[in-house]
């Protein structure tokens, strides 16, 4: 077996949630969940972890919405091939239309609403693979 295959992560999409002390925008008082991957329990990533999945894989289970959350130790890059996404990145609202790329650094509170039919991938990778990304 290829040694690099050990660094692949196969999602379980568990429903356990952990939260941070930061709170959701709008003064609701609810804590912002911190996940490994969206809706998955926190765990430290392998230092060489790279996880790739289609946008539809997770947003399709959530009515095309990914609610506000953050990742402690993962960078994420959304690559849109077709469609549109509205986003909230640390209270900065915007939208992008494909073709487009959107980067989400570790610790950034983010949420997405995808247009039906949006096609693309989400690449999540350990912060250790991009040490300079913390300085952006």
- Helix, strand, coil share (%) of the chain residues, nearest 5: 15, 45, 40
Domains by residue range for the chain, with CATH: 3-135 (2.60.120.10)
Percentage of the chain beyond pLDDT 70 is: 74
**Least reliable range by pLDDT among 25-39, 80-94, 106-120:** 25-39
CA 71, CA 105: separation in Å to the nearest integer? 8
Nearest to 120 by CA among 93, 102, 94, 95: 102
Cβ-contact 82, 118 below 8 angstroms = yes
When pLDDT is averaged across residues 18-31 and rounded to a whole number, the result is 52
When pLDDT is averaged across residues 25-34 and rounded to a whole number, the result is 72
The reported pTM is: 0.75
Helix (H, G, I), strand (E, B) or coil at 56: helix
CA 57, CA 132: separation in Å to the nearest integer? 29
More confident residue, 101 or 24: 101
Cβ-contact 38, 61 below 8 angstroms = no
pLDDT of 28 reads: 57
**C-alpha 124, offset from chain centre:** 7
Which band of pLDDT confidence, cut at 50, 70 and 90, is reported for residue 95?
A: very high
pLDDT of 30 reads: 77
For 67-90, how does the pLDDT look when each residue is reduced to its tens digit (9 = 90+)? 999 999 999 999 999 999 999 999
- Whether 24 has a pLDDT exceeding 90, the answer reads no
Dihedral of CA atoms 102, 111, 98, 129 in degrees, nearest 10, equals: 30
């Amino acid at each position: 077996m290829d040694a690099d295959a050990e660094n692949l992560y196969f999602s379980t999409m568990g429903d356990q949630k952990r939260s941070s002390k930061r709170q959701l925008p709008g003064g609701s008082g609810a804590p912002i969940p911190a996940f490994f991957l969206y809706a998955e329990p926190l765990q430290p990533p392998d230092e060489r972890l790279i996880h790739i999945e289609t946008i539809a894989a997770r947003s399709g289970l959530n009515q095309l919405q990914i609610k506000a959350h953050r990742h402690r130790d993962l960078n994420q890059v959304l690559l849109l091939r077709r469609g549109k996404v509205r986003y909230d990145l640390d209270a900065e609202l915007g939208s992008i239309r494909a073709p487009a790329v959107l980067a989400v650094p570790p610790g950034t509170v983010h949420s997405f609403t995808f247009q039906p039919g949006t096609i693309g991938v989400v690449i999540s990778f350990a912060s250790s693979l991009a040490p300079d990304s913390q300085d952006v």
